[in-house]
Amino acid sequence: MSLFNKKKSKQEKPEKKKSVIREWIEAIIFAGIAAIIIRTFVIQTFMIPSGSMKPTFLPGDFLIANKYIFHFREPKRFESIIFKYPGDPYHPQPRDRYAKIIRPIYWDKKNFLPKYYKRRDYIKRIIGMPGDTLQIIDKNVYLNGDYIDEDYVQHVDYRIIPRDEGHLYLGSKFMGSRDNYGPVVVPDNKYFVMGDNRDNSSDSRYWGFLDRDMIQGIPIILYMSWDGNSNKIRWNRILKIE
Protein backbone atom coordinates (compact mmCIF):
# COMPACT_ATOMS: atom_id res chain seq x y z
CA MET A 1 0.00 0.00 0.00
CA SER A 2 1.35 3.43 -0.90
CA LEU A 3 2.05 6.12 1.66
CA PHE A 4 -0.76 8.19 0.09
CA ASN A 5 -3.31 5.45 0.65
CA LYS A 6 -2.19 4.98 4.24
CA LYS A 7 -2.72 8.67 5.01
CA LYS A 8 -6.15 8.60 3.36
CA SER A 9 -7.27 5.60 5.37
CA LYS A 10 -6.22 7.26 8.59
CA GLN A 11 -8.27 10.36 7.76
CA GLU A 12 -11.44 8.36 7.06
CA LYS A 13 -13.77 8.12 10.04
CA PRO A 14 -15.96 5.08 10.64
CA GLU A 15 -19.72 5.60 10.27
CA LYS A 16 -21.49 6.16 13.56
CA LYS A 17 -24.10 3.62 14.52
CA LYS A 18 -27.46 4.74 15.85
CA SER A 19 -27.59 4.76 19.61
CA VAL A 20 -29.87 2.29 21.34
CA ILE A 21 -31.90 5.15 22.80
CA ARG A 22 -32.45 6.71 19.36
CA GLU A 23 -33.56 3.37 17.94
CA TRP A 24 -36.05 2.94 20.78
CA ILE A 25 -37.42 6.45 20.29
CA GLU A 26 -37.89 5.88 16.56
CA ALA A 27 -39.57 2.53 17.21
CA ILE A 28 -41.94 4.07 19.74
CA ILE A 29 -42.84 6.94 17.40
CA PHE A 30 -43.46 4.51 14.52
CA ALA A 31 -45.58 2.25 16.74
CA GLY A 32 -47.58 5.25 17.96
CA ILE A 33 -48.29 6.46 14.43
CA ALA A 34 -49.26 2.95 13.33
CA ALA A 35 -51.58 2.59 16.35
CA ILE A 36 -53.27 5.92 15.55
CA ILE A 37 -53.82 4.90 11.93
CA ILE A 38 -55.20 1.48 12.92
CA ARG A 39 -57.47 2.96 15.59
CA THR A 40 -58.74 5.67 13.25
CA PHE A 41 -59.37 3.61 10.14
CA VAL A 42 -59.29 -0.13 10.90
CA ILE A 43 -60.29 -1.43 14.34
CA GLN A 44 -61.07 -0.04 17.77
CA THR A 45 -61.76 -1.50 21.19
CA PHE A 46 -64.99 -0.49 22.88
CA MET A 47 -66.52 -1.17 26.30
CA ILE A 48 -70.28 -1.37 26.87
CA PRO A 49 -70.99 1.13 29.69
CA SER A 50 -74.73 0.63 30.21
CA GLY A 51 -77.57 -1.85 29.89
CA SER A 52 -79.31 -0.17 26.95
CA MET A 53 -78.46 -3.06 24.60
CA LYS A 54 -79.42 -5.95 26.86
CA PRO A 55 -79.63 -8.86 26.28
CA THR A 56 -77.42 -8.61 23.17
CA PHE A 57 -74.64 -6.70 24.94
CA LEU A 58 -74.16 -6.42 28.68
CA PRO A 59 -72.44 -3.74 30.78
CA GLY A 60 -68.79 -4.71 30.98
CA ASP A 61 -68.63 -6.37 27.55
CA PHE A 62 -65.44 -5.44 25.70
CA LEU A 63 -65.71 -5.41 21.92
CA ILE A 64 -63.46 -5.09 18.91
CA ALA A 65 -65.12 -2.91 16.28
CA ASN A 66 -64.57 -3.03 12.54
CA LYS A 67 -64.13 0.60 11.45
CA TYR A 68 -63.26 0.17 7.78
CA ILE A 69 -66.34 -1.78 6.71
CA PHE A 70 -68.44 1.29 5.90
CA HIS A 71 -65.82 2.48 3.43
CA PHE A 72 -67.01 -0.40 1.23
CA ARG A 73 -70.74 -0.62 1.97
CA GLU A 74 -73.61 1.21 3.60
CA PRO A 75 -75.10 0.33 7.02
CA LYS A 76 -77.77 -2.37 7.01
CA ARG A 77 -81.12 -2.54 8.73
CA PHE A 78 -81.12 -4.31 12.11
CA GLU A 79 -77.34 -4.43 12.50
CA SER A 80 -75.70 -3.08 15.65
CA ILE A 81 -73.50 -0.05 15.05
CA ILE A 82 -71.04 2.03 17.04
CA PHE A 83 -71.31 5.78 16.56
CA LYS A 84 -70.46 9.16 18.03
CA TYR A 85 -73.23 10.38 20.33
CA PRO A 86 -74.97 13.31 18.58
CA GLY A 87 -75.82 14.98 21.88
CA ASP A 88 -72.17 15.73 22.63
CA PRO A 89 -70.76 18.99 21.21
CA TYR A 90 -68.19 18.63 18.45
CA HIS A 91 -65.80 20.98 20.30
CA PRO A 92 -65.24 21.17 24.10
CA GLN A 93 -67.29 23.88 25.77
CA PRO A 94 -67.11 26.81 26.26
CA ARG A 95 -65.77 26.86 22.74
CA ASP A 96 -63.68 30.03 23.03
CA ARG A 97 -61.76 28.56 25.97
CA TYR A 98 -60.25 25.65 24.00
CA ALA A 99 -58.00 25.80 20.95
CA LYS A 100 -57.61 22.71 18.79
CA ILE A 101 -54.08 21.32 18.58
CA ILE A 102 -54.67 17.98 16.85
CA ARG A 103 -58.10 16.49 17.48
CA PRO A 104 -58.79 15.09 20.07
CA ILE A 105 -56.12 17.21 21.84
CA TYR A 106 -57.11 20.80 22.73
CA TRP A 107 -55.37 23.58 24.60
CA ASP A 108 -57.11 24.90 27.71
CA LYS A 109 -56.39 28.64 27.57
CA LYS A 110 -57.58 29.21 31.13
CA ASN A 111 -55.49 26.56 32.89
CA PHE A 112 -52.63 26.44 30.36
CA LEU A 113 -52.94 22.68 30.02
CA PRO A 114 -53.74 20.25 27.21
CA LYS A 115 -57.18 18.62 27.29
CA TYR A 116 -58.23 15.33 25.71
CA TYR A 117 -61.76 15.54 24.34
CA LYS A 118 -63.85 13.43 22.00
CA ARG A 119 -67.51 12.58 21.67
CA ARG A 120 -68.72 9.53 23.52
CA ASP A 121 -69.17 6.28 21.62
CA TYR A 122 -72.65 4.71 21.68
CA ILE A 123 -73.91 1.37 20.42
CA LYS A 124 -77.48 0.85 19.16
CA ARG A 125 -79.33 -1.08 16.48
CA ILE A 126 -80.45 0.42 13.18
CA ILE A 127 -84.24 0.17 12.92
CA GLY A 128 -85.25 2.86 10.42
CA MET A 129 -83.38 3.34 7.15
CA PRO A 130 -83.47 6.49 4.96
CA GLY A 131 -86.94 6.81 3.45
CA ASP A 132 -88.66 4.50 5.96
CA THR A 133 -91.86 5.47 7.75
CA LEU A 134 -91.54 4.31 11.34
CA GLN A 135 -94.19 4.13 14.05
CA ILE A 136 -94.32 2.55 17.51
CA ILE A 137 -97.70 1.35 18.78
CA ASP A 138 -97.91 -0.15 22.27
CA LYS A 139 -94.17 -0.97 22.18
CA ASN A 140 -94.47 -2.71 18.79
CA VAL A 141 -92.49 -1.24 15.90
CA TYR A 142 -94.00 -0.83 12.44
CA LEU A 143 -91.94 -0.05 9.34
CA ASN A 144 -93.76 1.24 6.29
CA GLY A 145 -97.00 -0.06 7.81
CA ASP A 146 -95.71 -3.59 8.56
CA TYR A 147 -95.11 -4.98 12.03
CA ILE A 148 -91.55 -6.23 12.59
CA ASP A 149 -90.84 -9.18 14.85
CA GLU A 150 -87.81 -8.28 16.97
CA ASP A 151 -86.61 -11.38 18.82
CA TYR A 152 -83.56 -9.49 20.17
CA VAL A 153 -85.68 -6.94 22.09
CA GLN A 154 -86.13 -6.92 25.85
CA HIS A 155 -89.01 -5.16 27.67
CA VAL A 156 -88.62 -4.78 31.41
CA ASP A 157 -91.39 -2.26 32.14
CA TYR A 158 -94.92 -3.66 32.13
CA ARG A 159 -96.40 -0.18 31.66
CA ILE A 160 -97.44 1.09 28.25
CA ILE A 161 -97.27 4.88 28.16
CA PRO A 162 -100.07 6.37 25.99
CA ARG A 163 -99.06 8.69 23.19
CA ASP A 164 -100.77 11.74 24.66
CA GLU A 165 -98.94 11.23 27.96
CA GLY A 166 -95.53 11.38 26.32
CA HIS A 167 -93.10 14.27 26.20
CA LEU A 168 -91.03 13.41 23.15
CA TYR A 169 -90.42 15.91 20.35
CA LEU A 170 -88.54 15.85 17.07
CA GLY A 171 -87.58 19.46 16.62
CA SER A 172 -90.80 21.28 17.44
CA LYS A 173 -93.08 18.41 16.40
CA PHE A 174 -94.72 16.32 19.12
CA MET A 175 -93.94 12.62 18.59
CA GLY A 176 -95.61 10.95 21.56
CA SER A 177 -94.20 8.65 24.21
CA ARG A 178 -91.58 5.96 24.59
CA ASP A 179 -94.13 3.24 23.77
CA ASN A 180 -96.34 5.09 21.27
CA TYR A 181 -94.22 7.16 18.94
CA GLY A 182 -94.57 8.70 15.49
CA PRO A 183 -95.22 8.13 12.70
CA VAL A 184 -92.01 9.66 11.40
CA VAL A 185 -90.24 9.52 8.01
CA VAL A 186 -86.48 8.96 8.18
CA PRO A 187 -84.69 11.60 6.04
CA ASP A 188 -81.99 10.88 3.48
CA ASN A 189 -78.54 10.10 4.87
CA LYS A 190 -79.99 9.56 8.36
CA TYR A 191 -80.97 6.56 10.48
CA PHE A 192 -83.37 5.80 13.32
CA VAL A 193 -81.56 3.72 15.97
CA MET A 194 -82.87 2.05 19.11
CA GLY A 195 -81.48 0.01 21.99
CA ASP A 196 -82.47 -3.62 22.42
CA ASN A 197 -83.39 -2.93 26.05
CA ARG A 198 -86.25 -0.94 24.65
CA ASP A 199 -87.69 0.49 27.90
CA ASN A 200 -84.29 1.73 29.11
CA SER A 201 -82.47 3.19 26.15
CA SER A 202 -81.54 6.74 25.21
CA ASP A 203 -81.93 6.53 21.45
CA SER A 204 -83.51 8.20 18.41
CA ARG A 205 -86.83 8.49 20.21
CA TYR A 206 -85.18 10.97 22.56
CA TRP A 207 -82.45 12.73 20.58
CA GLY A 208 -83.51 12.31 16.97
CA PHE A 209 -82.01 10.86 13.82
CA LEU A 210 -78.42 9.70 13.50
CA ASP A 211 -76.34 11.24 10.71
CA ARG A 212 -74.52 8.82 8.42
CA ASP A 213 -71.14 10.42 9.08
CA MET A 214 -71.49 9.74 12.83
CA ILE A 215 -71.39 5.98 12.30
CA GLN A 216 -68.00 4.52 13.20
CA GLY A 217 -68.29 0.77 12.66
CA ILE A 218 -69.78 -2.53 13.78
CA PRO A 219 -68.83 -4.86 16.64
CA ILE A 220 -67.17 -8.06 15.40
CA ILE A 221 -65.69 -9.84 18.42
CA LEU A 222 -66.56 -9.79 22.11
CA TYR A 223 -63.12 -10.48 23.60
CA MET A 224 -63.80 -9.90 27.30
CA SER A 225 -66.79 -9.57 29.62
CA TRP A 226 -66.66 -8.38 33.21
CA ASP A 227 -69.63 -8.48 35.59
CA GLY A 228 -69.21 -5.44 37.81
CA ASN A 229 -71.88 -6.58 40.26
CA SER A 230 -70.21 -9.87 41.12
CA ASN A 231 -66.67 -8.84 40.12
CA LYS A 232 -66.36 -11.93 37.97
CA ILE A 233 -65.46 -12.68 34.39
CA ARG A 234 -68.33 -13.92 32.22
CA TRP A 235 -66.38 -16.77 30.66
CA ASN A 236 -69.28 -17.93 28.50
CA ARG A 237 -69.28 -14.62 26.57
CA ILE A 238 -65.56 -14.39 25.76
CA LEU A 239 -64.61 -14.59 22.05
CA LYS A 240 -68.24 -14.40 21.05
CA ILE A 241 -68.36 -13.41 17.39
CA GLU A 242 -71.07 -10.91 16.55
Return the active site residues: 52, 124
Burial of 166 (0-12, 13-18, 19+ CB in 10 A): middle
CA-nearest of 127, 133, 180, 131 to 149 is: 127
Helix, strand, or coil here: 235?
helix
CA-nearest of 153, 159, 157, 158 to 141 is: 153
Who contacts 184 (Cβ-Cβ below 8 Å, separation ≥6)? 128, 133, 134, 135, 170, 175, 192
d(CA 49, CA 62): 9
Q: Which of left, alpha, beta for 60 (phi over 0: left; psi -120 to 50: alpha)?
A: left
By the 8 A CB rule, do 122 and 134 touch? no
